[in-house]
Chain A
């Protein structure tokens, strides 16, 4: 008995020691770079790519295919891709960890560019672009316009390559067609958010169990979209809206002190009091698609993509599996200083920056490389019914196919080279959407980049104040007469004036330098 006990305790001790260590090991990632190493000088470039698809255990076959192709097609480049696919939940942690530990990571997508630049995580690649990035720059000029890099440029330094995709997404109203017919209103009479209250009153009367509006974003009614589209608001580099600018006024203001903000808050308050919206909107995590699925939603608006000003279809239909919703633009897209901040950057401690830019150049301009990253290997991972369409092979889907990263289409390369999964018609629509980039109305301050490093304490405090009041105000559950003065006072206490002054100073300097 005694012996048994001591054995047991030994076993327990061992088990404890083992568990203490088990967290420390790490699975070494498979490296696919070695395959193409016929030339001694081939440099391996590690790309951390965020993926929204399943991550296969071994995708060296795909990277091998890419590297063999690169070695053949671009014999002078001497670069090889080492792809690391990472899910969205870990992505931010993984790139920061790689930075801190010195693990090789040459290319990555910063999720918040300003913070990354402030902590010097992105390398200035301006000196490499002219020599090694010609094709990429040409692609961006063609698809986006010549100002593609300006939002990533700070004091002459270029910190990344913008994701070259269609950025113009108009604020779109999605509405239940049957209910709109039911109350006898034509969609032609709805042209802005201000036309909605009357319609909502009728809908509420006829369909009392239905919410006239529910948000697409938790705890937010997206009035910022309308403020940008209708009132030409530029967020000037941060989403707390504590230093914004309207039109070409040249004057930075705290949004929450303006009449424009008050106007929309009053509208939302009236919707809340009339019961058009879910009463727990300011805290609920339930969003429009959930209400739509249960047939309890009349309308919502969001930046749902679509090239048609008016359509019998809506993104909401895809999300909920119905065809009940139609859509119409209710405001316009305004390209402000934050519309194009998604970029692929070279990490500041990369040992091979030239090779990284060379590789990016290929990824942005070579149809085969880009689509192999997205879709894998032809015949195994996809089949091509037509020139610009890639579909899963018979009997397979996104979860069963050996490799696919097709949902990465928004975070890598040039969208105009990417195949689509549906039809040639959709591919043409996509090209049209990309075409809108150049004609989209740009803020006069497009290209200004706010450097928050001098006011980081104030910004942190302001973030908290905004989180306290903003959801309640824009969802209508707080009384604006009481809450707005309190809100403004709290912002002043947290140093909003300092931030506005700092932004104004930087903006004035930027205007002086760019005119």
Chain B
């Protein structure tokens, strides 16, 4: 009895799933594989559909999408891949599942530093990796990444795992700037300054600073804004801290990209390019700034007030592609110095 029920409901699921895929060949659609959470990109896609009449189909995952595209091969339904980090961008390009985005619009809007010279990917929004400093205990208003290894911060820094993609990208930028030997020395210095074993996420880092476990936390710009504006429980964590935009001694603040790539076998290539160009357009860029608390790649877009309150972002000029190539060295160094131990 109940088995029949279950069978029936399972069959219905399959039918539903079948319905959603059977229309793939239609011209009025674009299929997006995304590392960005659906809930975050859904408002953007809804606006895109409203404006263009092109339906957006989505599947989101945390890792492995390029492996799926590779296995799907020429029959892959994917048109566009969205990522949250330069690491994932790099992986997709390495896996050979992309094709150049040939678009004058993108070349014009996105600064050269934030797109691939060969056109394999383009950055669409940015976040900076910054300091959450205790309001009570930290007096200085500026700080360099290099300074984080200074013994004066001994026992005063909190950070999540050194292997997390955000830290991996920051450390890779350090390697790209100063070379492996210097980076190793720096990582050992930062490790010696940690108040506790790396764990938790960027929100917990802010919480630890607020609770007095440490004076400096390292986190992304939008987490702080989300705590400040989104969640009454977490607001005190943000309120006990302030954001300092750190810089490299001879450069600017480390930024990471959410990027967009065009699938090699995109069945709806024209719609895919339309979506990519739309994401770099004014409306989408404004939504990235307002809803997601990110920095737009397009100039002339008004920042969210909380983000603007951090001060003028002076992004480091190091090309993102060069940082991506140092990720492996950074990951290796983290293990070598026992950063997470």
A and B are partners in one complex rather than unrelated chains: no
